[in-house]
Amino acid sequence: MDVQRLELLRELADRGSVTAVALATHRTPSAVSQQLKVLEREAGLPLTQRQGRGLVLTDAGRALARSATDVAVSLAKATALWDEFRNLATGEVSLVTFPTAGQMLLPGVIKHLRPGLVLNCADEDPELSDFPAFTAEYDIVLAHSMSGQLSWAGRGLKVVPLMTEPLDVGLPVGHPLEDRAWVRPSDLIGETWIGVTDGYPFERILHAIEQEAGARLSMSQRFADLALIESFVIAGLGIALVPRYTSGGGQPGRLVLKPLRGIESERQIVALMRPDRAERLAVRTVIEALQSEAARVQQSHTAH
Partner DNA sequence: ATGAACTGTTTAGGCTAACTACATGGACGT
Partner DNA sequence: ACGTCCATGTAGTTAGCCTAAACAGTTCAT
Question: What is the binding site for a second copy (CB under 8 A)?
Answer: 1, 3, 6, 43-45, 60, 63-64, 67-68, 70-71, 73-75, 77-79, 81-82, 85-86
Q: Where do runs of H (alpha helix) occur along 156-260? A: 202-213, 226-234
Residue 43 engages DNA in binding (rule: CB under 7 A): no
CA distance 189 to 228: 23
The interface region with DNA, picked from 16-24, 192-200, 214-222, 247-255 by CB under 7 A, is: 16-24
State the CB neighbour count (10 A cutoff) for residue 141: 25
Tell me how far, at minimum, the Cβ of 286 lies from a second copy, in Å.
20
Measured distance CA(152)–CA(272) in Å, rounded: 9
Exactly one of 9, 11, 14, 48 binds DNA (CB under 7 A); that residue is 48
- Of the two residues 55 and 117, which places its CB atom closer to DNA in the complex? 55
Binds DNA by CB under 7 A, chosen from 1, 41, 50, 190: 50
The nearest distance, CB 7 to a second copy, in angstroms, is: 11
Secondary structure class of 121 (helix, strand, coil): strand
Q: What interhelical angle do 59-86 and 3-15 show, nearest 10?
A: 110
- Check binding of 29 to DNA (CB under 7 A): yes
Distance CA 207, CA 49 (A): 43
Q: Which is nearer to a second copy, 83 or 266 (CB)?
A: 83
Size of the site for DNA (CB under 7 A): 24
Mode of pairing for the β-strands spanning 218-223 and 192-196: parallel
184 binds DNA (CB under 7 A): no
- Select from 1, 41, 44, 52 the one that contacts DNA (CB under 7 A): 52
Which stretch, 12-20, 117-125, 176-184, 261-269, contacts DNA (CB under 7 A)? 12-20
Nearer to DNA, 12 or 269 (CB): 12
Beta strands at 266-273 and 218-223: parallel, antiparallel or unpaired:
unpaired
- List C-alpha distances in Å: 100 to 144, 197, 254, 270: 10, 16, 19, 13
Nearer to DNA, 18 or 119 (CB): 18
Whole-number minimum distance, CB 76 to a second copy, in Å? 9
Instruction: Kindly give, in sequence order, each residue whose CB lies less than 8 Å from that of residue 302, ignoring residues fewer than 6 positions away.
Output: none
- Among 54, 272, 82, 252, residue whose Cα is nearest residue 161: 272
SS3 of the chain: helix, strand, coil, percent, to 5: 45, 25, 30
Interface with DNA by CB under 7 A: which range of 33-41, 191-199, 212-220, 242-250? 33-41
Name the residue nearer to DNA (CB basis): 22 or 188: 22
Q: Interface residues with DNA (CB under 7 A)?
A: 2, 4, 17-20, 26-31, 33-38, 48, 50, 52-55
